[in-house]
A and B are shown apart, each in its own frame.
Chain A
């Protein structure tokens, strides 16, 4: 299956990636083009799955066969503080994570 540059750009937008970030126009073209070629090769290889007859087979999403046992619905001790959680934040203020403005009024 061929994968177009448009598909690559569409998927990158869904994934919140900018493949052209920090690159010149020509470099970005190259990078997107090589992603398209590599993805096409990989997806073409994956098309081998079409040879398998899977009619009536239930998908297996996880190999765990034992069901997780429920526990009592009692809040657990957190064991750590708000300060500890915020310590890794790139930007924080008044005990909260800071992000650029989202609402425009």
Chain B
């Protein structure tokens, strides 16, 4: 292949590689950072790391899984550097019990598929907004475990906390999100 043609081929391959992957990578970074500009920075950094490391990629995971970990790490690095906003405590969103350990929470009357009242896009936006309301230390674990699909051990390693701490925060995050999603999930039997 002549040099010009080879160069054109490589440029085309790079463009296709970026186009094929940038959508999901931006979505991952935006979920973690909740900020478009920072997400774009994270993705840009991630592509540099991916190209720099591609030669050493050993194929112990799929290429997408490897790229996914890189964009997650880049987003988390930016998150750590950004100033933390004032957050509400999670406790009011957690289940309540009386002195004998009985659940105080009002029981839900599950309406007939309440999700059908919303379009899929509306539900997705609602869920996304509610996740963003969680305090950061819970939100990040919920995103990494339940959306990005990382294992407890992987999350513990990335965040430098114990496995049991990951589990405690994950359960609290899920419980709090359940509470926040009650208007979407059903109606209360007051």
Q: Do A and B truly interact?
A: no
Q: List chain B positions with a Cβ less than 8 A from chain A.
A: none
